[in-house]
Amino acid sequence: MLLDPHSVAARYARAVLNYQQGKPAAAENDLQFILKRNPNNYRALDALGEVDLTLNRPAQAEEYLRKAANLAPTESKVLIHFARALQEVGREEAAQKVLSSFKQLGVSATRPRPGPRNGDFQRMLSMPTAQPETVDVSSLRSKLEKNPNDLNLNLELGKALLNQGKTAEALNAYRKVRDLTSDPRIDARCGKDLLDSEQYGLAQQFLRDAAARDPSSADTRLDLVVALFHSAGPAAALAELDVMLPVSGKYEGDYYLLRAQVLDGMGKTKEAVDNLNRGFRASPTRPDLYFQATLFLIKHERYQEALDLTARKRQ
């Protein structure tokens, strides 16, 4: 991966990609580079702790993750990783105490949420030294005046406006895109962009279009369920899950983890637990659903299972 060696954001992006691709040792140098620039970057500390856990260096992992947890005491993922490190060094009671603190933090375990996508490194980094790449919105608008129905320009404008926090304008751009395309791949891509920005209503419309045009895409349908949960409620989300039955193959584990979270949101705890166990047996693949399943276990004070799940996700 070619990058600017002085770019903190680029180094972080490469570190995350290397870690996700099963190359934790390759991620380590880039994370150390970031921490030399900013020793208090809790996201880099958290990532380095995960690297050390994967490389069987629990004592070092605990040191990094303790610092990350002190810097970000309400960040649920950091606390989960810290608890796992405590367990790895034999501090079971301390690990369960960290997980039990989630109730005091008010962390939601019943509302499925999208996790960060692979391309969203700038927002994940959250550092003043790593500003998101500036897109010349005025130039895009000028080009669109000459060709208002250019699909790619409208897509680029919508994404740029979302990244810059100009949500109302961004949604208008995405609505224009929706009028211009019937390609389910573009519909799914827009739906994912909008999910990441928690714009669930319009995300749901794009994902419905994508699912209708490509009914075989289970990943799109799972994203649609998340959007429906937030925009229309758990009953609508459950109805969409029922449409997918029967489910087998790659996404079976993800399906049942998401179904468990939706059922828990409806107060159907026993059914939720049954689906959660079925999801675990089928080996889920989506990190966002693994994380939500961990929160589910914490909510129900099943701390050991939550810790075991975080270990399974790293394998």
Nearest-angstrom CA–CA distance, 54 and 22: 9
- Is the preceding peptide bond at 287 cis, omega within 30 degrees of 0? no
SS3 assignment, position 266? coil
**Contact present, 149 and 181 (Cβ < 8 Å):** no
Give me the CATH topology for the region 8-105. 1.25.40
**Contact present, 144 and 153 (Cβ < 8 Å):** yes
| Residue-level pLDDT at 270 | 92
Choose among 42, 48, 50: nearest CA to 84: 50
Kindly report, residue by residue over 206-261, the tens digit of the pLDDT.
999 999 999 999 999 999 999 999 999 999 999 999 999 988 888 999 999 999 98
Kindly report, residue by residue over 22-70, the tens digit of the pLDDT.
888 899 999 999 999 999 999 999 999 999 999 999 999 999 999 999 9
| Residue-level pLDDT at 67 | 96
Residue 129, pLDDT above cutoff 90:
no
pLDDT band at 172 (very low <50, low <70, confident <90, very high): very high
Kindly report, residue by residue over 88-109, the tens digit of the pLDDT.
999 988 988 888 876 666 555 4
Write down the domain spans for the chain: 8-105
Residue 283, pLDDT above cutoff 90:
no
Kindly report, residue by residue over 259-277, the tens digit of the pLDDT.
998 999 999 999 999 999 8
